[in-house]
């Protein structure tokens, strides 16, 4: 198999184990085959696969023109029996006979096809909703807890939410929803909210009894430490001492300040 990004996660040095894409590993496990990665820069390793493109081009398409896809398919269907009647140049067996033996050796397909889906991890909110693609999808409240990581498997038409840990029966599927169109859509199954707090235990006001109104004290009747603080009305009756400016000069030891004989007093 070639080293495409859908199969190989990153390139490594020769001799090291190649890290495979998880989706490719799941696909191979579903159809029961092993992935054998081709060595890097080895075009001859897959020549037998790409050679079929050149054969069809040279024997069916070359030198011809088609007006529709149906006409091209008809030309290919006419050519296939001619090709299968020929002997293959590598194993020298008739192509049609070898193909019949190969088909018998193949295993039957699984009853269900492999589902190709995007896979993402998302946390569960307190309201049991999971955000994906700008929309919200519900999961059962009794099977998850807030901030728990769940795996989202998204297809073009469906959203499947799986737990990262299987339950006692080995099941991981939590919920399945149709994929919402647009953004800002809430896709909720009402039964998923069973188990969330309903608010019945919270204290609520009934309006039967109101607390007594608070009596405001008139000014001047404050008690405690506030009583020592003068209010605006009491401050107008406080006597302010008056002294000449020379008193401040004597206290600071500075040169006396000469003023007009009628020295003003300050408060």
- Pick 211 or 60 by higher pLDDT: 60
Is the model's pLDDT at 40 over the cut of 90? no
- Position 111 scores a pLDDT of 92
- List the chain domain ranges: 22-105, 118-193
CA distance 234 to 226: 13
d(C-alpha 115, C-alpha 158), whole Å = 11
Q: Which residues of 43-67 are buried (b: 16+ CB within 10 A; e: fewer)?
A: eeeeeeeeeeeeeeeeebeeeeeee
Lookup: tokens for 250? 């004597």
Instruction: Look at residue 101 in the predicted model and tell me its pLDDT.
Output: 93
Kindly report whether the global pTM for this prediction surpasses the value 0.85: no
Residue 267 is predicted with a pLDDT of 46
SS3 string, the chain, reads CCCCCCCECCCCCCCCCCCECHHHHHHHHHHCCCCCCCCCCCHHHHHHHHHHHHHHHHHHHCCCCCCCHHHHHHHHHHHHHHHHCCECCCCCCEHHHHHHHHHHHCCCCCCCCCCCCEEEEEECCCCCEEEECCEEEECCHHHCCCCCEEEEEECCCEEEEEECCCCCCCCCEEEEEECCCCCCCEECCHHHHCCCCCCCCCCCCCCCCCCCCCCCCCCCCCCHHHHHCCCHHHHCCCCCCCECCHHHHHHHCCCCCCCCCCCCCEC
List 163's β-bridge partners, or say none.
150
Rounded distance, CA 152 to CA 175, Å? Answer: 10
Average of per-residue pLDDT across 74-91: 91
For 98-156, what is each residue's pLDDT tens digit? 999 999 999 899 999 888 888 899 999 999 999 999 999 999 999 999 999 999 999 99
Q: Which residue has the higher pLDDT, 35 or 15?
A: 35
**Percentage, residues of the chain above pLDDT 90:** 43
Distance CA 159, CA 247 (A): 90
Confidence label for 241 from pLDDT (cuts 50, 70 and 90): confident
Asked if residue 20 lies in contact with residue 45, where contact means CB atoms within 8 angstroms, the answer is no
User: What is the average pLDDT across 230-252?
Assistant: 73
pLDDT of residue 44: 72
Confidence of residue 159 (pLDDT cuts 50, 70, 90): very high
User: Looking at residue 222, what is its pLDDT?
Assistant: 54
- Of 154 and 208, which is predicted with more confidence? 154
């Amino acid at each position: 198999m070639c080293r495409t990004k859908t199969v190989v996660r990153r390139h490594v040095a020769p001799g090291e184990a190649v890290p495979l894409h998880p989706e490719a590993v799941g696909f191979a496990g579903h159809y029961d085959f092993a992935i054998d990665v081709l060595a890097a820069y080895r075009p001859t390793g897959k020549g037998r696969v790409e050679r079929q493109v050149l054969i069809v081009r040279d024997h069916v398409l070359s030198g011809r023109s088609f007006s529709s896809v149906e006409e091209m398919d008809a030309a290919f269907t006419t050519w296939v029996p001619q090709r299968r009647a020929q002997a293959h140049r590598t194993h020298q067996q008739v192509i049609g006979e070898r193909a019949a033996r190969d088909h018998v050796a193949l295993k039957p397909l699984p009853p269900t096809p492999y589902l190709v889906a995007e896979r993402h991890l998302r946390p569960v909110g307190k309201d049991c909703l999971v955000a994906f693609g700008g929309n919200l999808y519900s999961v059962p409240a009794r099977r998850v807890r807030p901030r728990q990581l769940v795996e989202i498997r998204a297809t073009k038409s469906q959203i499947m939410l799986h737990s990262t840990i299987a339950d006692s029966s080995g099941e991981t599927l939590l919920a399945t929803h149709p994929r919402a169109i647009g953004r800002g859509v809430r896709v909720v199954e009402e039964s998923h909210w069973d188990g969330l707090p309903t608010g019945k235990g919270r204290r609520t006001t009934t309006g039967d009894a109101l607390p007594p109104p608070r009596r405001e004290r008139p000014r001047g009747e404050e008690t405690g430490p506030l009583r020592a603080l003068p209010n605006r009305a009491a401050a107008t009756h406080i006597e302010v001492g008056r002294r000449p400016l020379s008193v401040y000069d004597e206290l600071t030891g500075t040169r006396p300040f000469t003023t007009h004989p009628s020295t003003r007093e300050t408060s």
